[in-house]
Amino acid sequence: MRIKSLESYKEVYNKSVSNPEAFWEDIASGFTWKQKWDKVLDWNFTEPSVKWFQGGKLNITENCLDRHIETKGHHTALIWEPNDPKEKSRKYTYQELLEEVCRMANLLKAQGVKKGDRVCIYLPMVPELMISVLACARIGAVHSVVFAGFSAQSIADRVQDAQAKVVITSDGLNRGSRQQAVKRVVDEALETCPFVERVLVLNVLGWEVPMQEGRDISINETIQAMPSWIEAESMDAEDMLFILYTSGSTGKPKGVVHTCGGYMVYTAYTFLNVFQPEPHEIYWCTADVGWVTGHSYLVYGPLLNGATTLMFEGVPTWPDAGRFWQIIDKYGVNIFYTAPTAIRSLMSFGEDPVLNYSLHSLKVLGTVGEPINEEAWKWYFVHIGKEKCPIVDTWWQTETGGIMISNMAGVTPHKPAHATLPLPGIQPVLLNGEGKVIEENGVEGYLCIRFPWPSMIRTTYGDHERCRQTYFSNYAGYYFTGDGAKRDEQGNYRIIGRVDDVINVSGHRFGTAEIENAINTAPEVLESAVVGFPHDIKGQGIYAFVIVNNPEQDADMRVAEIQEAVVKHIGKIARPDKIILVKGLPKTRSGKIMRRILRKIAEGEFQQLGDTTSLLDPGVVEDILAKVR
C-alpha cells in the first residue's frame, strides 16, 4: 500500500488508471470489513451516482481503533495540547481512546440517537470533539461538525438543513488570552430549531451555563456512568458517514455528504502515502476539526494508520509567535501540516520566534487550503524545515474528501508553489473555455476530474440536483472543481485559485452571495457586491461595495452595522476587510453586476478596468474610484 520511490509511483499510477477497480480493491482489502463487497465500483457522472464497495459492511471506528488494540493498545493515539502552555496536556492511548469513544457512543445511544440520525457537533478543539465525531460513527449516526467560530444563524441553518435532533456543545472556549461563550450561541441558534431534542453540554471552562429542562444534559455528569464498550454498528459501505457544510457560489452553504467505505479507504491511503509516517512518529495537523482537513487528516487518516495525532486547542500567536515551534520541540513533532495563511502570519514576526527552538525533530512539512506563494514556501522550507524537509503541497477540497494532487514526502519531488502530481487513482484534466480537454503540457485551464475516486462527494444533503448542477453540469462527464490550474512541461499542476464566486479567506471558503445576503440585512442597505482581493496574510480579503440610503449621514455607523450583520449571519471569520459606501454598482444593461471591474478596483488596478462601455451608467465607476483612491 505504501509507495516508496518515484519509479514505483509511476508504475502504481499507471496501474491505477488502467484498472482502477483492481487497484482500489487491493487497497480496500487491507481493512477490517464485517462483510466483503460484491462490486468495487458503479458510477455515472450524469445523475451523478457513485458507489464504491457496494454490499460491503464495516464500521470506520473499528478500523481507527479496535484494529490497532492488539499491537498498539498502549501506543499514544492522541496528544492534546491546551491553549495555555501552563496547563496540563492530555494523552490517550488507542485503548483509552476506544473506551472514551464507547462511553460517548453509549451516552448518545442512551439519549435516543440511532443509526442514520444527524448529530450536530459544535465544540472547540478539545479531545471530546474527536471523541464525539468517532462516537457518532461508532453507532452509525451522521456527524455534522460546525466550526465553533460560526454564528448562531450559521448553526441554525445547518441544524435545520440536516434536521439534526441532537447537538453536542460546550459552555465556552479558550482562544489565546480570551474566553468565549459557546452554549449561549447554541441557545440562540436553537430558538429556531424546536425539533432538537437534546443538547449535550461539555464543561470546558467551568462556567455555570443555563440548562434547559428536558433538553440539556451535562456530559461531565453522565459520561462516567457509561460503559466503556459498545459494539460497532454495521454500516453499508455507502451509508452516510458525515455531512460537512461548505460555501459555494450561491448564498446557501451546501451539505457535502461522505460515505463510510470509500472515505475510509481514501483518507487512510492518502495519509500514508503523502506524509509517509514511520512508526512512533508524531504527526500534527493544525486544522480545526470544523473543516474538512481536520476530519480527514487530524482524525480519520492518522487513526486509520495507527499514528499518533496531535490536537492543539489554541492559536499560533499566543502567548507569542513561537507557540507552534515550542509545541514542535515539546513533543518532538516529526510531521507538521498547516496552512499558508498561518505561515504568512508567522513569517511577519521574523526569524526571532523561530530561533528560540531547535525544530530538529521535523522531517516532513505540509501545506493546504489555498495556493502558497513562493516567498512563504521558501520561508517555510528554510526557516522551519532547515532546508532538509520536503514540503507536501496538498491540493484537495471538502468535496474530494482527501488529498488529490500532491507530492509524496521524500518519494516524489516538491516544487515551490506547485501541488505537483496526481495521487494514484486520480485522473485530473484541464479543460479550455469550450469544455475541450487540453492534452499538451505548459497550459492553463479549468481543473476537472474524469474518473471517480473512493472519497468523492456523493450528494449535497437533501438536494441532489444541487450537487449535479454545481459539480457535474458545467462539463458533461467530468467533476468540476471550481479551480483554475496550470500544468508545466513536466506535468506538474499549479493551482491558481477559484474561478467561481468563492473567496478563500485564510483557507476558508465563502460565497460572495453568502456575504452579500448577510450585508443586505443591515439597516439602510439597498444593495451590495462583494469581491476578493489579494491580502498579504489571509491570501484573499473581502472587499464590499455597498449602496446605502444617505451615505453621507452616519457613514461610520453604517459600516459598523454592516460588519455586525456579517458577524451575526456568518461569523467573525467572514468580516469584510474593506467596506466602501457607494452610490451605484457597475451594471450591464441587463442588470448584471460587472464583478470584473470591482475586482480590478479592489486590487488597486485603477488604470486597467478594461472595457466599461457596456455599462448602463459609466458614471458609477467614477464615483467608486473617487472613494477608493
* Residues found near ligand 7RM in the complex (CB under 6 A): 246, 291-293, 368-371, 393-398, 419, 481-483, 495, 497-498, 504, 507, 509
Instruction: Decide whether 232 or 419 has the Cβ nearer to ligand 7RM.
Output: 419
Instruction: Decide whether 24 or 471 has the Cβ nearer to ligand 7RM.
Output: 471
- Residue-by-residue DSSP string for 19-59: -HHHHHHHHHTTS--SB--SEEEEEETTTTEEEEEET-EE-
Least Å from the CB of residue 401 to ligand 7RM: 10
Least Å from the CB of residue 370 to ligand 7RM: 5
* Cα(194)–Cα(116) distance, integer angstroms: 20
Instruction: Decide whether 159 or 368 has the Cβ nearer to ligand 7RM.
Output: 368
Our measurement of the distance from residue 165's CA atom to the centroid of its chain's CA atoms, rounded to an integer in Å, reads 24
Least Å from the CB of residue 447 to ligand 7RM: 8
Instruction: Decide whether 118 or 498 has the Cβ nearer to ligand 7RM.
Output: 498
Instruction: Decide whether 53 or 480 has the Cβ nearer to ligand 7RM.
Output: 480
Instruction: Decide whether 15 or 450 has the Cβ nearer to ligand 7RM.
Output: 450
* Cα(184)–Cα(170) distance, integer angstroms: 9
* Cα(492)–Cα(415) distance, integer angstroms: 8
In this structure, what are the phi and psi dihedrals at residue 75, rounded to the nearest 5 degrees? -80, 150
Least Å from the CB of residue 485 to ligand 7RM: 9
- Cα dist. 289→122, 124, 293, 342 in Å? 10, 9, 7, 16
Least Å from the CB of residue 406 to ligand 7RM: 7
* Cα(398)–Cα(460) distance, integer angstroms: 12
Instruction: Decide whether 53 or 395 has the Cβ nearer to ligand 7RM.
Output: 395
Least Å from the CB of residue 578 to ligand 7RM: 22
Least Å from the CB of residue 498 to ligand 7RM: 5
Least Å from the CB of residue 351 to ligand 7RM: 25
Q: Which amino acid is it at 250?
A: T
Instruction: Decide whether 481 or 517 has the Cβ nearer to ligand 7RM.
Output: 481
The answer to whether 171 and 201 are in contact (CB under 8 A) is yes
Instruction: Choose among 370, 427, 431: nearest CA to 397.
Output: 370
The answer to whether 310 and 273 are in contact (CB under 8 A) is no
Our measurement of the distance from residue 143's CA atom to the centroid of its chain's CA atoms, rounded to an integer in Å, reads 15
Least Å from the CB of residue 473 to ligand 7RM: 17
Instruction: Choose among 368, 365, 400: nearest CA to 267.
Output: 400
Instruction: Decide whether 135 or 257 has the Cβ nearer to ligand 7RM.
Output: 257
Least Å from the CB of residue 345 to ligand 7RM: 17
Which long-range contacts link 19-27 to residues 24+ away (Cβ below 8 Å)?
Answer: 20/425, 20/451, 23/424, 23/425, 24/52, 24/265, 24/425, 24/454, 27/1, 27/265, 27/269
Place of cell 496552512: 339
Instruction: Decide whether 202 or 426 has the Cβ nearer to ligand 7RM.
Output: 426
- Cα dist. 232→76, 101, 108, 249 in Å? 22, 11, 13, 38
* Cα(196)–Cα(111) distance, integer angstroms: 12
